[in-house]
Amino acid sequence: MLPKTFIRHISQFAGVRDAAKYVPRRALLYVPASNQKMLDKIPMMQADSVVIELEDGVALTAKAEARAQATVALDKIPYHSLACQELGLRVNSVSSGLLEDDIKAVSKAEKLPHAFMVPKVDSPEDLVTIYNIFREHYGDERITNTNTRLVIWIESARALLDMPRILSSTLNLHKQAGFFKLDAVVFGSDDFCADIGATRSSHGTETLFARQKFVTCCKAFQLQAIDSVYIDIKDLDGLRRQSAEGRQWGFTGKQVIHPSQVSVVQEQFLPPKERIEWAQELVHAYSEHESLGKGAFQFRGQMIDRPLLLQALNIIQLVERVQN
């Protein structure tokens, strides 16, 4: 593996974030905050990103209980000894009318999650509401003096079409106002299909266009792209095929709804050995050409420029973190 200082040096050349801060999210596993037994198991869960869930996984009648249990869990869970890479908290959406109740409750916890996760962001105007609610209950100091990241969901036709403006506005909130930094975006396939009137299927052709447009928008802004849920939890072969497809398309991870799906998904989103070797050798070659003041060059028969360098760095950063 390449030295971390070397990777940071090359990352600065390429204009990407510090490799030491990279958070892998190959599998994103939901844990309903209304289920105390599941919350108690979080420290042992192996998914890269474990998400305390206040939204779809919690019945409307159990929202208050879920908020209370999530608030306790944030302070009780031992962050330093988690098996996962990230502990997230998914709140309810702006459109639900429940977001402020969620934030008012969980802001009472002393600790913040590694990432706040906000579903159904349909427009830049939603972001203004989200930002104002967080500011009111957390205050500017707690928001700006933290490494907590932001993850948002795109789940409607309107959001998909307006995605570049949504992502740009979210990133600008971090740069200009110190809000949590957007790190990843998740495609909500079930709500998207309901919005356009499509029927969900195991092969997923009904979301083919949406998933490809989604991942393209994410990568245009150098953000992680998290793929849709595979709904048949017993069909691990189908899950494996769709995960491999997603990785080939450029997705960096996938949502999972059952612990049995985690190992399958994380294996598929870990690059094969030959791809890792390609990335390491490419970065070395790029460093040599950069020191000579050269731009694009040939490597293994390919013309190499900044976009391919970014692909290589993403691979190296992922492998570094999951093998620590």
Q: List pLDDT tens digits, range 30-39.
A: 999 999 999 9
| Residues 168, 80 share a domain | yes
**What pLDDT sits at residue 248?**
92
**What pLDDT sits at residue 177?**
94
Q: What pTM, to 2 d.p., does this model score?
A: 0.88
Mean pLDDT of the chain: 90
Task: Give the tens place of pLDDT for each residue, 216-236.
Answer: 999 999 899 999 999 899 999
Residue numbers in the known binding site for substrate are: 90, 155
Which CATH number fits the domain that encloses residue 175?
A: 3.20.20.60
Contact 82, 39 (CB under 8 A): no
Percentage above 90 pLDDT, the chain: 73
| Residues 194, 232 share a domain | yes
CA distance 310 to 114: 24
Say which range, 16-20, 30-34, 89-93, 157-161, has the weakest mean pLDDT: 16-20
| Residues 194, 155 share a domain | yes
| Residues 237, 122 share a domain | yes
Domain that holds residue 185: 23-271
Active site residue 305: yes
Establish if 11 belongs to a structural domain.
no
Single out the residue in 230, 251, 271 at which a domain terminates.
271
| Residues 91, 77 share a domain | yes
Establish if 259 belongs to a structural domain.
yes
Mean pLDDT of 192-202: 92
Task: Give the tens place of pLDDT for each residue, 43-102.
Answer: 999 999 999 999 999 999 999 999 999 999 999 999 999 999 999 999 999 999 999 999
Establish if 192 belongs to a structural domain.
yes
String of b and e for 258-280 (b: at least 16 CB within 10 Å)? ebebbebbbebbbbeeeebebbb
| Residues 217, 136 share a domain | yes
Marked catalytic residue, from 40, 75, 140, 305: 305
Establish if 9 belongs to a structural domain.
no
Indicate if the pLDDT at residue 23 is higher than 80.
yes
| Residues 284, 256 share a domain | no
Q: Name the band, by pLDDT with cuts 50, 70 and 90, for residue 18.
A: very low
Residue numbers in the known binding site for Mg(2+) are: 155, 191
Indicate if the pLDDT at residue 304 is higher than 80.
no
Establish if 2 belongs to a structural domain.
no
Establish if 96 belongs to a structural domain.
yes
Single out the residue in 271, 291, 313 at which a domain terminates.
271
Q: Name the band, by pLDDT with cuts 50, 70 and 90, for residue 204.
A: confident
Structure tokens at 40: 């108690």
| Residues 193, 305 share a domain | no
Amino acid identity at 32: P
Cβ neighbours of 59 (radius 10 Å): 11
Residue numbers in the known binding site are: 90, 155, 191
| Residues 199, 171 share a domain | yes
Q: Name the band, by pLDDT with cuts 50, 70 and 90, for residue 293.
A: low
Mean pLDDT of 137-162: 96
Single out the residue in 256, 271, 286 at which a domain terminates.
271
Query: What secondary structure, in 3-state letters, does the chain show?
Result: CCCHHHHHHHHHHHCCCCHHHCCCCCEEEEEECCCHHHHHCHHHCCCCEEEEECCCCCCHHHHHHHHHHHHHHHHHCCHHHCCCCEEEEECCCCCCCCHHHHHHHHCCCCCCCCEEEECCCCCHHHHHHHHHHHHHHHHHHHHHCCCCEEEEEECCHHHHHCHHHHHHHHHHHHHHHCCCEEEEEEECHHHHHHHHCCCCCCCCHHHHHHHHHHHHHHHHCCCEEEECCCCCCCCHHHHHHHHHHHHHHCCCEEEECCHHHHHHHHHHCCCCHHHHHHHHHHHHHHHHHHHCCCCCEEECCEEECHHHHHHHHHHHHHHHHHCC
Establish if 117 belongs to a structural domain.
yes
How many folded domains does the chain comprise?
2
Establish if 151 belongs to a structural domain.
yes
| Residues 179, 122 share a domain | yes
Cβ neighbours of 83 (radius 10 Å): 11
Indicate if the pLDDT at residue 13 is higher than 70.
no
| Residues 201, 280 share a domain | no
| Residues 226, 309 share a domain | no
